[in-house]
Amino acid sequence: MTGTKAVVAKRVDTGSADLEEITDLARSAGYDVVGSLTQTREEDAAYGFGKGKVDELAAVVRETDADVVVVDNRLGPYQTYNIGQKLPEGVEVVDRFTLILDIFGQRAHTRKAQLQVELAELRYELPRAAAKASLAKRDERPGFMGLGEYDESRERDIKSQIANIKQELDAIADKEETRRAERRESGFDLVALAGYTNAGKSTLMRRLAEDLDVDENEDLHPDLQTTAESQDELFTTLGTTTRRADTGMRNVLLTDTVGFVSNLPHWLVESFQSTLDSVYRADLVLLVVDASEPVEEMREKLVTCHDTLYERNEAPIVTVLNKADKVDPEELEEKKQALTALAPNPVVVSGLTGENVAELCERIEADLPEWHDERLMLPMTDDTMSVVSWIHDHGHVDAEEYTDDNVMLEFKARPEIIEKARSKAADLSVAAN
């Protein structure tokens, strides 16, 4: 796809069409954007755009010798065909969601990511397969309007494939939920990074994690990576990447997930439900926002993120205004004030320079589920020191005193860790007697 020339186009009902995101998406997919076109009018049933505007689009394609037209709207099958008929022969028409699926397909490197992309593609194809069959039946001409030959069983096949993929994804989700439970039982707090693509989540993750990798078998835990990529690309992170973060007292596992993008249909979001579970089921969510963007764009993205997160998420959400190095302090303060309703008490940081990252670490520790205080007296046995070591690994020891017969520990930990520590202490007492 590299070197393929594309013209981007967008229609809006009112106002002015913004081509920035669709241009970034096209470039992320590997296209060389060589031209653009916009229109403000209500949707035309036949073309999406007005017929005259499609003629103008064809002229831009000829002038730029483009190979593809990328439309930042959702096109029906006949609208796609009708536009294609106006363009020079061989020029492909790609709508917004086909483009996003193409990008997802390029970024899907794990089995889970590949299944989610395949599920999204099938959900996108399903209504089109039904439309092809309906049109061909009505006109008694297979391939009517260039929509391709149809098979009456195709719709059933797609539904069957969707059911099989969902079953496999459910099995993966069950394993991941078991993994989350095991990590919590091991004393880890789970923190998820969420937010729009290109907000700097991966850069911030690298800053928080430093070089502390989770020492686990990557074959068993495919989300554990030694690095999190930081690139100026959309959807660099399609699956999830988990690393151990150094925030201070707590044992934190930080997970970076796929970035949000505006104007995604419900079926596409649902296709990536398994990845979003890493956010929904975290102990704390860091909602990362690019502070260098215009305040209205920040507001729109915060609203979309809140709609996605608050519907199912139960964990506290901390808004992180990232890329502070790109904004002067006065402008930053104005943005904070303008966004107070959507982002109360945000943390301002720069993942690139490390500015205020220490403050973010303090906020993470403060907003995680509360640790409880405990005091245990452990009888001295052959196994006592292994229990002491376990408590050090799973909590924070404030005091430790030794006598000939006992070890006294004062520590803080998650409630479930305290219960396990009490059980281990009871076992030591039985052994000592």
Q: Which residues are annotated as a binding site?
A: 195-202, 237, 256-259, 322-325, 350-352
Return the beta strands (E) in 41-145 as ranges.
68-71, 92-95
Number of H helices, E strands in the chain: 14, 13
190 CB-side CA count, 13 A? 23
Residue 72, both tokens: 């930042």
Residue 384 carries which DSSP code?
H
Residues within the annotated binding site for Mg(2+)? 202, 237
DSSP 210-249: TT----S-TTT-TTB-S-----SSTTS--S-EEEEE--SS
Give yes or no for a contact between 61 and 9, defined as CB atoms under 8 angstroms apart. Answer: no
Distance CA 95, CA 244 (A): 39
Mark the binding-site residues for GTP, compressed into ranges. 195-202, 256-259, 322-325, 350-352
Q: DSSP letter for 37, please.
A: E
Residues 6+ apart with CB under 8 A from 207: 351, 352, 354, 357
Nearest to 350 by CA among 329, 367, 374, 325: 325
Say whether 51 sits in a helix, a strand or coil: helix
Residue count of the chain = 433
Strand 396-402 versus strand 406-413 pairing type: antiparallel
